[in-house]
Every structure is written in C-alpha cells, then in structure tokens.
C-alpha cells in the first residue's frame, strides 16, 4: 500500500519528507507505522475514513467559511494518518517555544510600561505606539502574575532535518485546540492497535491544565476558588464549537455579553438563580468589541464596564487586552531581537526571513519579486488577504502590487518555503501533503506546552495553504516518549 516513490514530492529534491529518507527507508520515528501500512489495504482505509466522518459529524465539529456561496458550516477534513515527532525533536521544540513565550510576555509588559526596547533603539517607536493593535489604555497596568498572553498558539513549519521555523505567533484568541483533542479521541477509537505499538504522549489533560492556568491568574482579592466563564461572540462565530467544547470540558459556563452585567464594582452572570459573581473571563471576543464604554461603542458582543473592572483588579481577562501587538506580522520581524533582549539568549527557534513593505528598500525588493514571495496582511488571518506569488496569476500579482503601494505598512512578505510533507490519505491514495504545526502553550503560574499540538495539512495537491477555510484539514500529532 505504501511505496517510497510516492514521496518524491514531484521530484523536488529540496522537499523534506518527514516519514521517509531519500533512499525510501523509514525514519526511526515512523518505522512501526510503515510496517503497519504494509498490513493494510485501501478498502479498510476507506471504511475508517467513513467512520471518522461519522464521528466528527456526530460531535458537530465544524468550522465556518466566510463569504462562501455554499453552506458555510462544514465538517473539518480529517486525515487518518498521524504525524509523528520524535522525543528528541519535541524536546528541542519545547525549549524553543518556552523561550519565545517568555520573551513575548516580557515584551508586552515592557511596551505597556517603560518601553525599554524602544529606548534601546531595537524597535522603532512608531512600530509600537502607532500600531493598530497597541492599546494605550493598558499603559501602566500589571495583570495578575504579569502575564498578558496566557493561551498561545505558535505556528511552526519544517524545511529539513533540523530546519524548524516559527511562521506566526498567535496571542489574541488562538483557536484549534478542540480539533487537537478530538483528533486524538477519533484516532484512539479508529486505530487502537497503533497506539498499543507506540508510546504517545497524552494531550487529553489540556482542559484540566487550561482551568488550572485560569485559576492561577485569579484577581488578587479573589477569596476561594475563582468562578470562571468562557465569553463567546455567539453561535455564528467560526470557532463557536471550540468555545462550547472548552467550557464543557472545563466545567465552566459559556456566556455571551448579554449574559453579563457590571454592578456594584463586580462582574456578574445572570442565571435563573439570580446574579452570580465572575472572577476570570476566558474571552474569545476581539479587543475592539470587548467593552462598548471603552472601545467600539456599537459593540453588542462585549460587556459595558468590564475593562474598568479589569483595570481595577476586580476581574481577570484572558488573554489580556492589547496582546495582539505581539503577534502583529510587522512586529514578528523583530521577535529574534525581542528574544535576545529579554532573555539574554540566542533564539532557539528561527523566524522566517521577513521583508517589511513599510521600508522603502524592502518594499522595492518585494515588488520586484512578487512572483517568488508570499505576501501577507499585517493583521490578516485564516489564509485570507495573502498572495502566494508562485501560484498567482499576473493580474493577481498586479492587483497586490497596487494594494502594497497604497498601504505599504499593511503588508509584509516572506520567501516561499519548501514546507515538509507527511503522508496523507487523499482521494483513495496515500500521497505526500504539506503540513505545519500549532503547539498550544498555557502561561500562568508556570508555562505548560501540550505535547504535539494541531497539525494542519494542505489537502489540495501542491498547495501550501493549510487553513481549513482554504481547503486544508487536520491530522493527529504524536509525540513519542522515550
């Protein structure tokens, strides 16, 4: 069922195959999986694919596709073949992730206080103080434990044996952890014999650890166990399934802004038993919509007065307002310097080379090479608002050039990386597909990195876009234990 020549990635020798060496022999972490493949047939895989679809349909694991002409609620595509990461590879990634999130939280504390990194001339003042994601209202405020970004998703891509790069830092309202958990549950049901043959690090404690993290950042004057709720924009949000899933798994309430009220210097949840005080809010609502008294006055998603309570230390908001500046794609270019400045160490995980279109020379370089580069909006997400130059038409590149010239500060560009491939069951065959990885990090009284994370896979042949909204899917990620 499995043939080495299926993994030559269309003859591109620079493409790194995570499962097979160039001579077709399996890499050590995949040896048992390759042997297992040899005992399978396509009909059994087709049956398992249908069983997986039934599991995800029953659970209601969906995502929204905005602007689609067809029905916008879809079952997220699930690839049956797990991605495997060795224990040694994971130790390296974990060290790099922990270093990075420590530095990013230190950066957030600094820019909302003395701005030493700006004074040192490492980051231009305008990059911080004129950034749309910077919240002047957060100046001088110390959140509990001095943690701003409690829940983080770091997007990592691989290009070679030791070539790991951070593609993005997601610190606002990172999503996808529910898919990680349900992927593992589905795989354990479908292929118990595979788990019996591997020592796979568990991920199922994530909701418990998330709750512990939220409890650890309770307001200073909270007596006893804090009362926690997940604040969702509502059922039409693309990640609503995840909001409801995490609230249920943690055993806390799922609320909308209309369920909450600020009264007598505290935040309350309306219940059939009357008002119930809340101490910690895991919000999945963007900054601008969080509080109509302080931000967008037309917001119907937030709670009037909640930000003033937060500043007064009466409630904790997770992630803190204003964290978005640390995952701004223009600031991303400075993260290696941020890591060195706050930790005194060389970055363990490298950035992808990034060109800032706000700088004249770099913009000229980008415009001259649009057919080679990937161009992204600084505040874009979900695979929207980007140009993959090698796959774009001349008209698409010309249109993007006009956009860049009109708003140069709104765009950055990066080389088109030869992303690693993993085997995927696509169209009744096993073929290589490009993947990335989003490990999930919890930061409170300590840093907790869930082993593995969410592997996203570009299911369209030749595509580099892994986002589910753009035709991508997900697969279970196995970190092997020693």
Rg over CA atoms, the chain: 23
Query: Domains (ranges, CATH) in the chain?
Result: 220-314 (3.40.50.11290), 353-415 (3.30.1490.270)
Instruction: State the angle between helix axes of 177-190 and 42-59 in degrees (0 to 180), rounded to the nearest 10.
Output: 130
Bridge-partner residues for 424, per DSSP?
Answer: 431
Angle at 9 between CA 39 and CA 439, to 5 degrees: 80
Specify the DSSP element, H or E, that contains 107: helix 87-111
Contact 406/147 with Cβ under 8 angstroms?
no
Contact 130/365 with Cβ under 8 angstroms?
no
Contact 375/413 with Cβ under 8 angstroms?
yes
pTM for the structure as a whole: 0.91
Angle at 464 between CA 458 and CA 468, to 5 degrees: 40
- What residue spans of 369-445 are helical by DSSP H? 394-406
Per-residue pLDDT of the chain (482 residues; tens, 9 = 90+): 443 333 333 333 468 999 999 998 999 999 999 999 888 888 888 888 889 888 888 876 665 554 544 446 677 889 999 999 999 999 999 999 999 999 999 999 999 999 999 999 999 999 999 999 999 999 999 999 999 999 999 999 999 999 999 999 999 889 999 999 999 999 999 999 999 999 999 999 999 999 999 999 999 889 889 999 999 999 988 889 999 999 999 999 999 999 999 999 999 999 888 899 999 999 999 999 999 999 999 999 999 999 999 999 999 999 999 999 999 988 999 999 999 999 999 999 999 999 999 899 999 999 999 999 999 988 766 556 789 888 899 999 999 999 999 999 889 999 988 899 999 988 777 889 999 999 999 999 999 999 999 999 998 887 777 776 666 899 999 999 98
CA distance 278 to 259: 12
Q: How many CA atoms lie within 13 A of 460 on its CB side?
A: 10
> Helix, strand or coil for residue 124?
coil
Report residue 289 as tokens: 């919509």
CA distance 163 to 18: 12
Report residue 276 as tokens: 């119930």
């Amino acid at each position: 069922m499995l043939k080495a020549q299926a993994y030559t990635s269309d003859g591109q020798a620079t493409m790194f195959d995570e499962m097979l060496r160039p001579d077709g022999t399996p890499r050590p972490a995949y040896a048992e999986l390759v042997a297992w493949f040899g005992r399978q047939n396509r009909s059994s895989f087709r049956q398992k694919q249908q069983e997986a679809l039934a599991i995800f349909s029953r659970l209601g694991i969906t995502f929204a596709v905005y602007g689609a002409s067809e029905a916008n609620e879809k079952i997220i595509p699930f690839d049956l073949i797990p991605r495997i990461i060795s224990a040694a590879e994971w130790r390296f990634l974990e060290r790099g992730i922990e270093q990075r999130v420590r530095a990013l939280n230190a950066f957030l504390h600094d820019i909302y206080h003395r701005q030493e990194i700006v004074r040192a001339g490492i980051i231009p003042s305008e990059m911080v103080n004129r950034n749309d994601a910077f919240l002047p209202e957060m100046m001088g405020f110390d959140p509990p434990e001095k943690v701003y970004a409690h829940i983080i998703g770091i997007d990592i891509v691989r290009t070679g044996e030791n070539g790991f790069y951070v593609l993005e830092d997601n610190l606002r309202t990172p999503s996808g952890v529910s898919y990680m958990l349900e992927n593992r549950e589905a795989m354990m049901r479908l292929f118990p014999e595979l788990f019996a043959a591997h020592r796979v690090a568990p991920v199922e404690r994530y909701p418990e650890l998330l709750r512990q993290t939220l409890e650890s950042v309770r307001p200073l004057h909270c007596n006893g166990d804090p009362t926690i709720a997940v604040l969702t924009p509502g059922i039409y949000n693309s990640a609503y399934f995840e909001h409801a899933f995490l609230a249920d798994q943690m055993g806390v309430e799922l609320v909308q802004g209309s369920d909450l009220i600020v009264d007598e210097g505290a935040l309350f949840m309306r219940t059939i038993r009357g008002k119930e005080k809340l101490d910690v809010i895991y919000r999945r609502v963007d900054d601008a919509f969080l509080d109509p008294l302080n931000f967008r006055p037309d917001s119907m998603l937030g709670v009037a007065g909640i930000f003033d309570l937060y500043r007064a230390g009466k409630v904790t908001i997770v992630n803190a307002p204003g964290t978005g500046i640390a995952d701004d794609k223009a600031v991303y270019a400075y993260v290696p310097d941020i890591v060195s400045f706050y930790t005194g160490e060389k970055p363990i995980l490298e950035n992808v080379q990034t060109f800032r279109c706000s700088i004249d020379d770099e913009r000229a370089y980008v415009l001259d090479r649009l057919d080679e580069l990937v161009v992204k909006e600084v505040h874009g997400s979900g695979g929207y608002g980007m140009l993959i130059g090698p796959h774009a038409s001349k008209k698409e590149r010309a249109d993007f050039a006009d956009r860049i010239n009109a708003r140069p500060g709104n765009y950055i560009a990066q080389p088109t990386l030869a992303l690693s491939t993993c085997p995927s069951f696509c169209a009744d065959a096993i073929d290589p597909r490009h993947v990335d990885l989003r490990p999930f990090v919890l930061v409170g009284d300590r840093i907790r990195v869930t082993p593995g994370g969410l592997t996203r896979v570009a299911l369209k042949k030749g595509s580099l876009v892994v986002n589910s909204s753009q035709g991508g899917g997900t697969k279970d990620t196995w970190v092997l234990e020693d």
